[in-house]
Structure 1
C-alpha cells in the first residue's frame, strides 16, 4: 500500500513560458511565503500552449536559481526529460542543486524524471526521438546510472534525493516506479488508482523493494474538490497545480492551501 500517514502537500508548477524571468522570481517568492510545499517547473525548450514561439526558459538553470532564492520549499521539474542530458551529468547537476538549496544542511531538491514525449524539443535541439519504448528503455538505463553516480560523488548529496517518476504505463513505467521511485506522479482518475497501485505493488514484489513508503502524486488542474477528495481517498498525498502566467491566480492557490490544511487537520 502507498504511504498514507504522510501529510497532504501542495505542489505548484510554474510553467516557464510566456513571461519574463523577473515574473517567475517574484512568483517563487510569493508562493513560498504563502505556504506552498513544492515548486515545480517543466523540462521543455518551447511553450506547450499559447504562442509556440513565445517566451520560454530552460528548466535546470531556473531550478538552480530557485535553490539559492528559496529557504523552505522543496522544488524540481515536473518532470525532467531523461533524453536531454547524460545520466551521470544529471546526477551531478542534481547533487549540486541539492547542496545549493541546503540552507540548514539538508537539500530540498526532488529529482522528478520521465522518458520525454515532446517531439519538437528533440527535433530542434538535435536529439534522437526514437519510440516511446526506446525512450523508456533509456530511462531505465539512466536511472541506474544516476543512482550509481550519486554513490560516487564527492561531496555526496546531502540526503537521499527523492526520486519522482511520472507516467502510468504498466509494463515499463510502473516497474521503474517500483524499482526506483519515492514518489509516483500521474494524471489517472480516482477510479483508476486501485488498479495502478496494485500493479506497482506486484512489480515491487518482483523487484524485492518495499512499496509501503511510496507517495502518490496527482494533478489538480481543471479539477474541483470533489475529485481531489476522491483522489485523497484513493491514497494521493501530493497534489500538483498547474500555474498559468503571467497573470498568476493566487486566489486559486489560496483555496487549495485551505483544502490541504483541512485535510491535515490544521
Structure 2
C-alpha cells in the first residue's frame, strides 16, 4: 500500500537564460502549485551551447529562499566535491533558516568532468568520489548538530544515483529521499537491493521517500512501485511549464 501522497518537483536548469527569467519561472511554478523547486550544481551548461549562460547553485538557492514562500527548494543534486562538508552543512543550515525550513539537501558524488577541470578540483575516479561522499555525509550530520542556531528542522537529505554496492548503501544509512534516474523495470530491481541494504543497517525502507524523473509513459508504474516525488525539468532560453502543469493535474487527481 502506498502511503505517501504524490509530490511534483521541477528542476529549473540554471542555463541559457538570464536570472530575471529564472526568478520569474520559479514564481510561476510556485503559483501553479509546485511542491519542490530544484536547480542543479554545475558550473557550465549540460546541454546546448557549452559556454552559454549559467549560474551557480547555492547562491541561487539562497535567493530562492527569499523569492519563494511555500515550495521546498534544493539542488538535484549538490556535488560533494565542490565544498568542504562542514561548509556545506553551514550553507544548508543558513538557507534552511532563510527559507523558514524549506530546504532539501540534495547531494551526490559528482560526475561532470569539465566542472572539475575548469574549477581546479581533482576529478579522480567514480569509486573515489563515492568514497569521498561516504566520508562527507557523517561530517555533514555532525556539523549540523553543532551549529548555533541549529537548523529549523531535521533537514531532509536527498541522495541521487543508483550504484548498487556503494550509493544505495549510503541511501540506506543517510537519506530521507532517494532520487533514481532509472526506468521502471530497473527501479523495481534497485528497490529490492535498497531493501537489502536497509535490512543490513537496521533501517525501515519505508522511511525513505522514492524520487524519480517524471515521464508520462512510466509514471503510473513508478507510482505502483512506491515512487511519490516526480520531477520534470525545463531550462533556457525559453523555459516551458506545460509538462509541469500536466503533472500537477495528474498529482491532484491521484491525491484527491
TM-score scaled by structure 1?
0.94
Q: Which position in structure 1 is the counterpart of 2:121?
A: 127
Q: Which position in structure 2 is the counterpart of 1:159?
A: 153
Distance in 2 between the 1:219 and 1:113 partners? Answer: 16
Q: Which position in structure 1 is the counterpart of 2:246?
A: 255
1:187 Cα offset (Å): 1.1
Alpha carbons 2:17, 2:238 under 8 Å: kept: no
Q: Judge which range, 253-262 or 140-149, deviates more.
A: 253-262
Distance in 1 between the 2:241 and 2:161 partners? Answer: 28
Q: Judge which range, 249-258 or 18-27, deviates more.
A: 249-258
Cα deviation per residue 1:168-220 (whole Å; 9 max; x = unaligned)? 11100000000000100011111122221111111112112222211101002
Distance in 2 between the 1:116 and 1:253 partners? Answer: 27
Alpha carbons 2:73, 2:102 under 8 Å: kept: yes
Cα deviation per residue 1:4-46 (whole Å; 9 max; x = unaligned)? 3111000000000000110011111111111000000000000
Partner residue of 1:87 out of 80, 85, 88: 85
Q: Which position in structure 2 is the counterpart of 1:25?
A: 23
Aligned length: 256
Q: What is the correspondence of 1:45-194 to structure 2 with a 5 Å cutoff? A: 45-102=43-100, 107-194=101-188
TM-score scaled by structure 2?
0.98
How big is the alpha-carbon RMSD for the aligned residues of Structure 1 and Structure 2? Answer: 1.0
Distance in 2 between the 1:251 and 1:84 partners? Answer: 33
Structure 2, unaligned stretches of length 5 or more? Answer: none
Distance in 1 between the 2:5 and 2:24 partners? Answer: 27
Q: Which position in structure 2 is the counterpart of 1:208?
A: 202
1:97 Cα offset (Å): 0.2
Distance in 2 between the 1:70 and 1:7 partners? Answer: 22
Structure 1, unaligned stretches of length 5 or more? Answer: none
